[in-house]
Amino acid sequence: MEEFDFIDYVKKIDDRINKKCQDITVGIIENGKVKNWINKEDRKNNETNIGQNSKKLVIILESPHVKEYWDQGKKDDPTPAIGKTGKNLSKKLQDLIDSVIEYERPNSNLSSNKFDIILMNSIQYQCSLGIDTKYLRDKVFRKLWDDSATKIGKDKNRKTLNTKEDFINRLTEYEPDYIFNLCTKGNETKEESKIVENIKKKFNSFKNNFPKGREKEDKINIDKLTEEIKKIEEPQNIDSINNILEKINELHDKYNNTINTFKNLNNRFKTFIKKLNETKEKITLQDKVQIEINKYCSSKNYIKCYKANHPSCWKQKKNSIKEINSDKKPFEF
């Protein structure tokens, strides 16, 4: 049978899927007040090209989905954040900026300067392939993001796309003063945030079922160990997972004699470490992007960087946002 290039065939059905979803300007912030044209109809009457001579606030999403390419069946060029994402951004952006200004008081640059608002996808192609995001988006995004260079097209001389490099190049071009990482966490990691909590519960139940007749010293050590494990926080990103692994290995060394006395407890330590190592391999899409943002910001101390949930998940009230590389607690908008 003659070799059949399925991907090449599918692309011919509608070549829009192979088009890049360009980053655009969707508003300004002047002295803390937001004027946005995020809604698609408003974009037609305002300048969406990215300027070169102004301060910038960049809103980062992960990749375009269906409406960004096929909004109401129209054959427009793809454009970011159409549908629920854009609607929520348009509604809540002023609340978000107000909360950041309040958080940064008394010296927030947002309250006394003019900023262009830029919408930017980490990957400018449709990682979902136009179907429900729970099926392919995360896998495609991870593959594109983690590969050093991805070949595009069938030709032997086809172009390659280094998605991380492309991402950093665009940030470098825009020179942002603020970065809001609003990428989705993805569907593959939702259960993994519960790992530490579940393991801690198992350790606590072990304490309550401590075998009778053991030496007093071992009983005291189990009590101390359990208390220390209860203090361990749930993993939020790759750095916190590494910190937890380091902590649990320290505890294993510290209570080595006691742990080895009880097979059940030793097995739980092994399970804990195994689960955390698996989690390291599946950090969220948002965290993957944040790692690259941190690299970009490492020598640019003036950049303020924040992280929040994807706008499609925003509620009317009490959404949470956190400043990156800060010990301060998240705050609401």
The whole-number average pLDDT for the span 116-135 is 92
Q: With pLDDT > 90 as the criterion, what percentage of the chain qualifies?
A: 44
The residue with greater pLDDT, 105 or 202, is 105
Distance between alpha carbon 226 and the CA centroid of its chain, in Å? 32
What's the CATH number where 74 sits? 3.40.470
CA distance 203 to 255: 14
- Whether the CB-CB separation of 286 and 307 falls below 8 Å is answered with yes
The residue with greater pLDDT, 175 or 191, is 175
Pairing label, strands 55-61, 114-121: parallel
One domain for residues 322 and 267: no
Domain boundary among 244, 260, 280: 280
In a domain, 213, yes or no: yes
Supply angle C-alpha 105, 110, 113, rounded to 5. Answer: 125
One domain for residues 134 and 156: yes
Which helix (H) or strand (E) segment holds residue 260: the answer is helix 256-261
Structure tokens at 74: 């129209």
One domain for residues 218 and 261: yes
CA distance 8 to 289: 29
One domain for residues 247 and 316: no
One domain for residues 27 and 163: yes
Q: With pLDDT > 70 as the criterion, what percentage of the chain qualifies?
A: 68
One domain for residues 159 and 230: no
Mind listing the pLDDT tens digit for each residue in 234-252?
Answer: 555 556 666 777 777 777 7
Pairing label, strands 159-161, 331-332: unpaired
Give pLDDT, residue 9.
Answer: 65
- Whether the CB-CB separation of 127 and 66 falls below 8 Å is answered with no
Mind listing the pLDDT tens digit for each residue in 43-59?
Answer: 988 989 998 778 999 99
One domain for residues 207 and 68: no
Amino acid at 299: S
Three-state helix/strand/coil letters over 200-258: HHHHHHHHHCCCCCCCHHHHHHHHHHHHHHHCCCCCCCHHHHHHHHHHHHHHHHHCHHH
In angstroms, the first-to-last Cα distance of the chain is 59
In a domain, 293, yes or no: yes
In a domain, 1, yes or no: no
Three-state helix/strand/coil letters over 262-290: CHHHHHHHHHHHHHHHHHHCCCCHHHHHH
What range does the domain containing 199 cover?
192-280
One domain for residues 288 and 257: no
Predicted TM-score of the model (pTM): 0.72
In a domain, 154, yes or no: yes
CA distance 63 to 130: 11
- Whether the CB-CB separation of 187 and 310 falls below 8 Å is answered with no
One domain for residues 254 and 217: yes
One domain for residues 163 and 212: no
SS3 state of residue 86: helix
Total number of domains constituting the chain:
2
One domain for residues 325 and 227: no
- Whether the CB-CB separation of 116 and 177 falls below 8 Å is answered with no
One domain for residues 10 and 151: yes
